Amino acid sequence: MEKSEQAIRTTFFSLFGNIGLALTKGIAGYFGNSYALIADAIESTADVFATVLVLFGLKYSTRPPDENHPYGHGKAEALVTFAVVGFLVISATVIAYESIQHIQTPHKIPEAYTLIILAVIIAIKEIFYRIVSKKSDDVNSTSLKADAWHHRSDAITSLMAFIGISIALFMGPGYETADDWAALLASGFIIYNAWLIFRPALGEILDEHVYDDMVIKIRQVAQTVPGVIDTEKCHVRKAGMMYLVDLHLTVDGTISVTQGHDIAHHLKDTLQHEIPEIHDVLIHVEPDHLQQS
């Protein structure tokens, strides 16, 4: 199965999971007098829209290169990640605002059964996070990693709600707002997670050099190709789930242009075979001055 198909299937898994959990948390929060649980439902609802964006980004970013986009459409995935981060920030802001409003408004202590619901939700969301996160590593998807962190932030929000409701139930009257404070604290965790997602996506858009391990592997593979004397500059940039490489290749300075060209093509084919994540390699051939002399 191609990486894009794996990523899209995983996104559908997230989508339907978020829809089910958003409904469950919203209903339980309303009838159980827990704003922390309602806040959790708000975030899950935002997750639904964010996952739809991820799905769109994955489908668009896997389009083949065309006349207007000779390097492909992979950067769209990082742009969608920015939008996903925006959903996280918006949901955290709404949760923080509503939490403050509820702290200032007297209300009933949440029902005890909401703790059971939250415990189940925490477990489910952590499982979702692990599944989606592993798949994002397998397919090398930035936006899928962002979607995974949505599940983790959701689990954190639910954990905060669990702690807040437990305090309210244990301490009794006077502590009704404990779950609201928990929701407020959770909004801070969501903002922090948003930054963790945003930073790598920004680096991808700016072609930041963060792929030292791949550069080492490229040089190692290059040394196995006959005719390759050395490799000099090696720049790697990420576009969607694939990589684009610019490489300076050193060959014997006394051979013909045709021979140098053939070595470069052999190197490119070998790199793409040994490192399937590489979408394209631009090779600049340079003569070895020691061989010329």
CATH code at 143? 1.20.1510.10
Of 182, 205, 228, which residue is a domain's last? 205
Domain of residue 217 covers: 212-292
Of 205, 222, 240, which closes a domain? 205
What's the Cα-to-Cα distance from 262 to each of 61, 116, 283, rounded to whole Å?
Answer: 32, 66, 11
The predicted-structure confidence for 141-177, as pLDDT tens digits, reads as follows: 777 777 787 777 778 777 877 888 888 888 877 777 7
Domain count, the chain: 2
Q: Can you give the pLDDT at residue 220?
A: 93
Percent of residues, the chain, with pLDDT higher than 90: 15
pLDDT of residue 289: 67
223 neighbors 248 (Cβ within 8 angstroms): no
Distance CA 136, CA 7 (A): 7
Question: Cα–Cα distance between 185 and 11 in angstroms, integer?
Answer: 28
Single residue among 144, 171, 205 that ends a domain in this structure: 205
* Co-location of 145 and 225 in the same domain: no
Q: How confident is the model at residue 3 (pLDDT cuts 50, 70, 90)?
A: low
* pLDDT tens for each residue of 93-151: 887 887 888 788 776 777 778 788 888 888 888 888 888 888 887 777 777 777 787 77
User: Average pLDDT for residues 178-185, to the nearest whole number?
Assistant: 80
CATH of the domain at 247: 3.30.70.1350
- Let me know whether 69 and 192 are in one domain: yes
Q: What is the pLDDT of residue 1?
A: 44
Both 224 and 180 in a single domain?
no
